[in-house]
Amino acid sequence: MRARPSLTLSICLLAAAAAVLGLLRAGDPAPTADAASDASAGGDAIDIAGFAFSAPPTTAGGTTIDVTNSDGAAHTLTARDGSFDTGLLSGGDRGTFTTPLAPGTYEFFCELHPSMTGTLIVG
C-alpha cells in the first residue's frame, strides 16, 4: 500500500515552491550603496526601483518623507533602530514615514530584501 503525504508536508512543499518562484521572478537584486543628498536635489521623497532605494534627502527632524515603490515586488523601508517604517508597500504603492526628531544618521533597509540599504541624515 502506498503512503499518502500528510497535509502538513503538502503545505510545506507548496510554500517552498512559491518561495522559489518568487526568487526566480525577483532575480538577484544588487545591494544598494548608502547615499545621501541634500533636500533640494531629491526633495522629501525616496523612490524604490530596481531593488534599490534612491538617495534619501538630508532633512530636518519631524519631516514627512514620501516613499514610492516603483518595483513590481513588495518592499519596506524600515529603520534598523525601529524609529520609522513604511510597512509593506506592494508594487506601485506609496507610503510615508516621519523622520526622527533627534539629529543623526539613521540606517534603513527592506525587511523582505535585506541587501537593500540606505542611510537617512537628520540635521
Res 6: pLDDT: 53
Contacts of 98 (CB under 8 A, 6+ apart): 62, 63, 64, 65, 84
Tell me the pLDDT tens digit for each residue of 4-25. 545 444 443 334 444 433 433 4
Cβ-count burial of 18 within 10 angstroms (0-12 exposed, 13-18 middle, 19+ buried)? exposed
Tell me the pLDDT tens digit for each residue of 51-94. 999 999 899 999 999 999 999 999 999 999 999 999 999 999 99
Q: Which amino acid belongs to residue 87?
A: G
The pTM of the full predicted model, rounded to 2 decimals, is 0.66
Task: Output phi, psi for 106, to 5 deg.
Answer: -120, 115
Contact 106, 120 (CB under 8 A): yes
Task: Output phi, psi for 25, to 5 deg.
Answer: -70, -35
Locate the domains of the chain by residue range.
30-122
CATH top-level class of 30-122: mainly beta
